[in-house]
A and B are shown apart, each in its own frame.
Chain A
């Protein structure tokens, strides 16, 4: 019971992430997470290179925790994109919260990490 209460105290729940980096991501320096933008569509006002796909799944710990939100998924996507040295995550899309094999509430999202071409 105390273990459940302890786990229940974790505000963000537990999460899994996945990254499929492309060649363009090799050797890039990590970007500060707070500089990464999350965009649901494409970017057409400036050229960019795709660095790879990033995905994240956020899970709630117990049935009594709040459902995971898109903001939590965005936070995880930004962390993974930052590691690739990205400036933004575009084409972001989300699943819907539901029970999954290991969680009472699971929400996933994915997007494409990109880096703007330097002028």
Chain B
């Protein structure tokens, strides 16, 4: 009897943890803002490391292409995440109402989210370089 009680407590803790992990993992927060460089002239609004980055060697047409590549990659990642929204909502509802372990079946899209954050950093850098070069 005591063992059954222990098992129940453990499974409740596990389910609670799964709920917490799933819920915490689902929404992606917006990436942090870059430092405020507004007090500098546009051609000097670069961060440490921008001038040594591979993008710094690109001319204006290539920076424009790079910017377009980033935009397309962002769209692809967002589409991946959006494509899993219905599934995650169904799993979240069923897990919350019927059977908590179902929440483990949610798709967190961690790779796509990480990639979006990296792409934002790259986009910011390409924007800074484009504007510093007067593109």
Contacts and interface: CB of A to CB of B under 8 A. Distances in A.
B69 interface: no
B30 A95 contact: yes
Contacts of A91: 33-34, 124
Which secondary structure characterizes the binding site on chain A? strand
B131 interface: yes
Interface residues of B, number: 32
Which secondary structure characterizes the binding site on chain B? helix
A108 B43 CA distance: 31
B29 interface: yes
B27 A99 contact: yes
B30 A108 contact: yes
A97 to B, nearest CB: 7
Interface stretch (A9-17, A28-36, A44-52): A44-52
Given A42-B127, A42-B128, A101-B23, A96 B34 contact: no
A99 B26 contact: yes
B98 to A, nearest CB: 14
A100 B27 contact: yes
Contacts of A100: 23, 26-27
B28 A95 contact: yes
B23 A53 contact: no
Nearest to B91: A99
Given A99-B22, A108-B30, A110-B33, 20 more contacts: A41-B131, A42-B131, A44-B131, A50-B36, A63-B93, A91-B34, A91-B124, A95-B28, A95-B30, A97-B81, A98-B26, A98-B27, A98-B88, A99-B26, A99-B27, A99-B88, A100-B27, A110-B30, A112-B33, A112-B36
Interface of A: 41-44, 47-50, 53, 55, 63, 67, 91, 93-101, 104-112, 114
14 contacts: A42-B128, A50-B38, A55-B30, A91-B34, A93-B30, A96-B28, A96-B113, A98-B85, A98-B88, A99-B27, A100-B26, A101-B23, A104-B89, A108-B27
